[in-house]
Structure 1
Amino acid sequence: MASRKRSSASAASDAPNPKAPCPCGSGRRYKHCHGSGYAPPVTRPFEGLPGEADWVALRELVPAATAKLRTTDGKDVTLASVLPGGAPALVRASGEIVLGVQLQASSDDVSRDLGTALAAALEAPAGAPVDPGPVGAAGSSGPRLQDLLDATAPLEVTVHEDFGFWLEGVEPGAAAQAGLKQANEAILPTVRLEGLEAAYWVRPSNERAHLRWVRPEPEEKLLDALARLRASGEILLGEGTRYAGAFRAHGLVVPVWDLPADVPAADWAAPAAAFQQRLEQALASTEPLTADERRARAGLLSRQITLR
């Protein structure tokens, strides 16, 4: 009995304090994380996929866009920003598989939600509805995108002016045409800046435009670099621009600039490329932040929000 008591006491002493931060690094208390059997959300669901930053952009920023994917067994798949009704996937009569990244519901692992939908689409016959089950349900055991997609195939995004790609290869009825018209009316003009990864110009009104740029760098390193540029006055993209702040989405930081609405999107590619060079130099710096840079960093952090 004494031996059992000592063993029980030893096991109890080895367990983390329920009120202490969980050892997994989620930031939650242990009792609300692994101590409760709860699996913390996957912070970067698209990590390891080619074009992670563009995956985040298609999920959160871009209204109408497509890209080509390839599965590990060589099958071609079309990735779409969103499908009619928020459907997770469809198989056209031609056999083309289309996967929608913007889902109506999602779990704590978006990659598993999308992987589950893709796996169901790969098994569905041409022209048949895709039924992946309750996508977004907690505790799903379906595959992740990283299990199904060829990681050597680059992600090349095509931004569309409307959702006409929904009806490619089909004869739409009146209801489908009406739904397409309604969806098209809600689209904000969006352009992916040429030569830059995941940099998207958008004009929400005739008075203003924005550049929203999903960055692949680790958050702390990126914040240090942006602080250096903010303190030196090099964070702007040119006359009439303003650094508006940033948000986090799926583990990546998305800086946002306000831009004059009357300047065409293509004209911002060169200023953005110049900023990219300044940012790379700031990222390479190993010097401690100065007092002005620390104040700039605190200001940047105060203007940052989390979407996911």
Structure 2
Amino acid sequence: MASRKRSAVATPAAGEVNPKAPCPCGSGRRYKHCHGSGYAPPVRRPFEGLTAEADWVALRELVPAATVPLRTTDGTEVTLASVLPGGTPALVRASGEILLGLQLATSSDDVSRDLGTALAAALEAPAGAPVDPGPIGGAGSAGPRLQELLDPSAPFEVTVHDDFDFWLEGAAVDPAARAGLQHANEMVMPTVRLEGLEAAYWCRPSPERAHVRWVRPEPEEPLLDALARLSAAEQLTLGEGTRYAGAFRAHGLVVPVWDVPAEPAGEEWAGPSAGLQSRLEAALAVTDPLTADERRARAGLLSRQVTLR
């Protein structure tokens, strides 16, 4: 379900192509609706180049309440939050602490630039003052990208929270704010980051069912081949009572999902997931063409894959 890719063919300047003719880039669209319209394709992997790209995607799409300490290139400490109150992109507390919200109410075709625009505004805002980053999520977003602002040598250490109480740490809380926080906390899905694994998260959307959702850093095609090899060998599970449910794409990465029993609790799935990681690494190292059974398994995997963003 991915969008069709354009080739790297150079396109002529406006006026050299009939607007109703097919665009020379090979998209299959008319020139006036493609490169002739000033079209700019979305950034497929907005977090590429950042430390722990897969966890950036997970916190953006999967994790309800989490924080990560960040450091800018000039040494300023920033706290990344999965989401901030009201979906605000950034805020500066009275103490001077800067919080950057990852899950925005709206976004443009480059999420990294949206977030970089918000962070740049927060870095200039006085303590306790509202942050006004200007347009976020539209054509007016023209600030820096995160890759230009963040120190790439800083670690990316995720803390998953049971609730959003971190929103109000150190702040005077009035009854209305407390009521709003309580309502938000009631919506939090139980989520656990599986220890020792990159971007692997257990979640329980209801008392009866749970999932392991795992953002994978590998390129899509080799990853699908490896998953197909495991599927054909009946090794694409996390143990008894589990099953591979499918996958989705988000911000250029593939996110496989497994259905698992609601019990045991999340931490207990780190061991089975580590075992699957070892099998997957071995499958990724295989370079032989897929067998007939593996090709059929791959086709089945593709039929259960969708694109979110």
Same fold (TM over 0.5): yes
Say what the alpha-carbon RMSD is for the aligned residues. 1.8
Distance 1:270 1:18 in 2: 57
Moved more, 77-86 or 32-41: 32-41
Q: Paired residue for 1:22?
A: 25
Distance 1:28 1:184 in 2: 48
* Pairs within 5 Å for 1:73-92: 73-92=74-93
* Pairs within 5 Å for 1:62-211: 62-211=63-212
Instruction: For residue 263 of structure 1, report the CA deviation from its aligned partner.
Output: 1.2
Distance 1:302 1:21 in 2: 32
Amino acid at match of 1:299: G
- Residues 22, 28 of structure 2: 8 Å contact kept: no
Matched position secondary structure for 2:282: helix
Instruction: For residue 91 of structure 1, report the CA deviation from its aligned partner.
Output: 0.1
Matched position secondary structure for 1:69: strand
Instruction: For residue 303 of structure 1, report the CA deviation from its aligned partner.
Output: 0.5
Larger radius of gyration: 1
- Residues 89, 99 of structure 1: 8 Å contact kept: yes
Q: Paired residue for 2:7?
A: none
* Alpha-carbon spacing, 1:286–1:274, altered in 2? closer, same or farther (3 Å): same
Distance 2:24 2:218 in 1: 25
Alignment deviations for residues 193-246 of structure 1 (CA, whole Å, 9 cap, x no partner): 000000000001111100000000001111010000000101001000010000
Q: Paired residue for 1:4?
A: none
Q: If the length of structure 1 is used for normalisation, what is the TM-score?
A: 0.92
- Residues 30, 36 of structure 1: 8 Å contact kept: no
Q: Paired residue for 2:287?
A: 286
- Residues 236, 276 of structure 2: 8 Å contact kept: yes
Matched position secondary structure for 1:203: strand
Is 1:272 the equivalent of 2:273?
yes
Q: List gaps (5 residues or longer) in structure 1.
A: 1-7
Q: Paired residue for 1:5?
A: none
* Alpha-carbon spacing, 1:217–1:29, altered in 2? closer, same or farther (3 Å): farther
Instruction: For residue 33 of structure 1, report the CA deviation from its aligned partner.
Output: 3.6
- Residues 21, 30 of structure 1: 8 Å contact kept: no
4+ residue segments displaced more than 6 Å: none
* Alpha-carbon spacing, 1:240–1:28, altered in 2? closer, same or farther (3 Å): farther
Q: List gaps (5 residues or longer) in structure 2.
A: 1-11
Distance 2:20 2:54 in 1: 37
Q: If the length of structure 2 is used for normalisation, what is the TM-score?
A: 0.92
Q: Paired residue for 2:244?
A: 243
Moved more, 264-273 or 73-82: 264-273
- Residues 68, 156 of structure 1: 8 Å contact kept: yes
% same residue: 76
Distance 2:286 2:20 in 1: 39
Instruction: For residue 12 of structure 1, report the CA deviation from its aligned partner.
Output: 4.1
Instruction: For residue 18 of structure 1, report the CA deviation from its aligned partner.
Output: 5.0
* Alpha-carbon spacing, 1:73–1:294, altered in 2? closer, same or farther (3 Å): same
Q: Paired residue for 1:252?
A: 253
Is 1:44 the equivalent of 2:49?
no
